[in-house]
Amino acid sequence: MKNNISQDDLIVFLTVLDEGGFRAAARRLGVAPSNVSTTLSRIETQLGVPLLLRTTRSMRATDQGRTLAARIAPLMAEVRAACAETADSTGRVSGRLKINVPGAVMPDILPPILATFQHQHPAVEVELVVDNGLVDIIESDCDAGIRYGASLEKDMISIPIGPRRQQIALAASPAYLEAHGCPETPAQLTTHDAIRYRLPGGPLLPWTLQAGGKAITVEPVTRLVLSVNALNSGLSYARAGMGIIAMFRNWLEGDFRAQTLVPILKEHWHPLDGPRLYYPNRFTSNALRAFIETCQSKVSGDE
């Protein structure tokens, strides 16, 4: 058995997986579908194992195929990045930057960072994929991701992006407080109506407060539950008087100034670490490296 498989053949294999089929891969590569099929058969013969299970209607990777793809995809990405950087040796940053982000950073944390980045590097196309779950950024074809308190794989590193510390604040509309009264202690929250958020397919986000130097969790009366994918829409329901909401303090400052929402139990608001940009500790493109530098300069400038 010979294992000296060409890089071109491996690119064909990865393209088939990316496109979900032989015909789509052939269109992307500009070759005949029969050439793609022949290439896959050649690889399988050389390796002595099946990589794809295929019928006239469907196709999926075998365990061996998924394992091979997971190992070689990052290597191919590094080869593409190296070639792109060599071709563009003038120091001008270009290409695509695709980032997986949670909705929490979209309204106010990311815009000034991206504005600075694109002013400095106008040739880079930025794509944001909004997803509130922790995803495999390599598998999802993203260059980097942003998360709060993310548990990262050992081959990932992370840096702060935006504020190093934030607060979860409590707020309600004047109309709600006039009708229900304003809680004066965390314990009184258990009798109040609440607008809560639920993680995708998971539990409600807890209401964590500070009391006596310790973090405590309270359970209010849940009246409205929203997905975290609709994070910013909760403010509209709070303004309408449907209950108390726990939200990032920086999202509430405008409402506090306009007095459309009133802060509640400010001395008990819970701090949390700010978001972090995470990415592979190798295979970084020049666009990602430039974005990392922008993030670091913005964080150091805010300190």
**62 lies in some domain:** yes
Asked if 182 and 259 sit in the same domain, the reply is: yes
Q: How many CB atoms lie within 10 A of CB 66?
A: 14
CATH for 293: 3.40.190.10
CATH for 250: 3.40.190.290
Asked if 29 and 148 sit in the same domain, the reply is: no
CATH for 35: 1.10.10.10
**178 lies in some domain:** yes
Asked if 144 and 184 sit in the same domain, the reply is: no
Q: What is the pLDDT of residue 303?
A: 47
Q: What is the pLDDT of residue 291?
A: 93
Q: What is the pLDDT of residue 73?
A: 86
Q: What is the pTM of this model?
A: 0.61
Q: Which of 23, 56, 86 is the last residue of a domain?
A: 86
Q: What is the pLDDT of residue 186?
A: 95
pLDDT in tens, 120-163: 999 999 999 888 766 677 677 888 888 887 656 666 788 888 88
Q: What is the pLDDT of residue 84?
A: 64
CB distance 275 to 104 below 8 Å:
yes
Distance CA 256, CA 207 (A): 20
Q: Which of 52, 86, 120 is the last residue of a domain?
A: 86
Q: In total, how many domains does the chain have? A: 3
> E strands of 5-123, at which residues?
52-54, 59-61, 95-101
Pairing state between β 276-280 and 221-227: unpaired
- Pick left, alpha or beta for residue 265 (phi over 0 → left; psi -120 to 50 → alpha; otherwise beta): left
Distance CA 207, CA 218 (A): 6
Distance CA 11, CA 28 (A): 11
Tens digit of pLDDT per residue, the chain (303 long)? 456 788 888 889 998 888 888 888 888 888 888 888 899 999 999 998 999 887 767 788 899 989 998 988 888 877 777 666 665 555 678 889 999 888 778 888 899 999 999 999 999 999 998 887 666 776 778 888 888 876 566 667 888 888 888 899 999 999 999 999 999 999 999 999 999 998 777 788 899 999 888 999 999 999 999 987 777 788 999 999 999 999 989 889 999 999 999 999 999 999 888 888 888 876 578 889 999 999 888 765 454
Distance CA 247, CA 70 (A): 38
Q: What is the pLDDT of residue 181?
A: 96
Q: What is the pLDDT of residue 282?
A: 64
CB distance 129 to 122 below 8 Å:
no
- Residues in CB range of 86: below 8 A, 6 or more apart: none
CB distance 229 to 200 below 8 Å:
yes
Q: What is the pLDDT of residue 119?
A: 93
